[in-house]
Amino acid sequence: MATTDPVDPDMTAADLALDLLDGDERAAATRRALTDRDFAAQVAWWRQTLAGLVAWWPAVEPPPGLEARVMASTTPHGPSASRAPDSIRGVAPWWRVATLALAGVAAVLALMLVLPRHAPPPPPARTATAPLIAAIVPAADPAAPAAPLPALYEPDTGMLRLSGADIAPANRSAQLWAIGADGIPHALAVLARTPEARITIASADRARLVPGAVLAISLEPPGGAPGPVPTGPVVATGPLTRL
């Protein structure tokens, strides 16, 4: 989906794009993405922008013991802690490290001025598939949830997140189904009793989760339906759409 650089970026959208939110904050942001088109566009913009930046930098394994040496260099020791020592466990003081780093940057800039200029290679084409979202709307049933349940599905990882999944009474289990164009329900998972369910969809079922497919929740005996179709009431349904 095409997005533009937002004039006033919403950092909540950035946090959601980076998967930094948990619990109530993530649930609120997910619900907002379902109802606020501008916010959803900013989430998509952050994902596209950050994916492009990450593609420029190869993964580098840090050398063994680096974290311990860095922590040692910033930890005060003894009565002279207010005065930084010249060396702590073999690590130069921060100002020497900074000086060497600046010298390295200056050398790189000098080389850029004297060497022939070449356009940097374009970042690799993005192959990530846009997520799918659904608002699973309660049915006209006394056991149905009080409000729509927002769902977010990531096709590339097979991860489906569903907020407000703890809707089953104590003697029942809530079960999630996918219903395609043929109208036949296929069981996806029995929902955990948590405010936000995180479900890794089985490989055989991922092809069923496409735009237009319907997610449905039924109330079943403990542990789920004994057969291939729902046996209890279907208390909420909602179609998947591309974010």
Look at residue 28 in the predicted model and tell me its pLDDT: 85
Which has more confidence, 160 or 40? 160
Task: Categorize the per-residue pLDDT at 102 as very low, low, confident or very high, splitting at 50, 70 and 90.
Answer: low
One domain for residues 185 and 142: yes
Same domain as 110, residue 45: no
Q: Which residue has the higher pLDDT, 56 or 163?
A: 163
- What's the confidence (pLDDT) of residue 175? 93
Instruction: Confirm whether 174 is domain-assigned.
Output: yes
* Radius of gyration for the alpha carbons in the chain, expressed in angstroms and rounded: 26
pTM value > 0.75:
no
Residue 201 lies in a domain: yes
Assess if residue 85 is contained within a domain.
yes
SS3 state of residue 177: strand
The owner of tokens 């079960």 is: 175
On whether residue 47 sits in a domain, the answer given is yes
- Of 207, 233, 230, whose CA–CA distance to 153 is shortest? 207
Number of neighbouring beta carbons within 10 Å of residue 230: 18
Question: In this structure, are 141 and 227 located in the same domain?
Answer: yes
Residues 220 and 168 in one domain: yes
**pLDDT digit string, tens, across residues 117-174:** 555 555 545 546 788 888 888 777 776 777 788 889 999 999 999 888 788 888 999 9
143 and 222 together in one domain: yes
Residue 94 lies in a domain: yes
Pairing state of beta strands 149-154 and 132-138? Answer: antiparallel
Q: Return the residue matching tokens 């006033």.
A: 8
Residue 90 lies in a domain: yes
Nearest C-alpha neighbor of 192 from the set 205, 176, 204? 176
Rounded mean pLDDT, 223-240:
90
Helices H, strands E: what count in the chain? 5, 9
Q: Which of the four pLDDT bands, split at 50, 70 and 90, describes residue 91?
A: very low
SS3 content of the chain, % helix, strand, coil (to 5): 30, 20, 50
Q: Identify the pLDDT of residue 221.
A: 93
Q: Identify whether residues 168 and 97 lie together within a single domain.
A: no
Q: Which has the higher per-residue pLDDT, 82 or 61?
A: 61
Please state the domain count of the chain. Answer: 3
Confidence of residue 56 (pLDDT cuts 50, 70, 90): very low
Q: What is the pLDDT of residues 200-220, one digit of tens each?
A: 999 999 999 999 999 999 999
- Give the Cα separation of 196 and 192 in Å (integer): 8
Say whether both 171 and 234 belong to one domain: yes
Q: Are residues 105 and 185 in the same domain?
A: no
- 198 within domain boundaries: yes
Same domain, 139 and 236: yes
Chain-wide mean pLDDT for the chain?
74
Same domain assignment for residues 29 and 77? no
Q: In this structure, which long-range contacts are made by residues 99-108, counting pairs with CB atoms below 8 Å and at least 24 apart in sequence? A: none
Angle at 241 between CA 143 and CA 12, to 5 degrees: 85
Confidence of residue 109 (pLDDT cuts 50, 70, 90): low
pLDDT at residue number 11: 79
Q: Tell me if 5 is assigned to some domain.
A: no
Range of the domain at 38: 11-54
Residue 109 has a CB neighbour count (10 Å cut-off) of 9
Q: Do 50 and 97 fall within a single domain?
A: no
Give pLDDT, residue 72. Answer: 72
Q: Are residues 104 and 178 in the same domain?
A: no
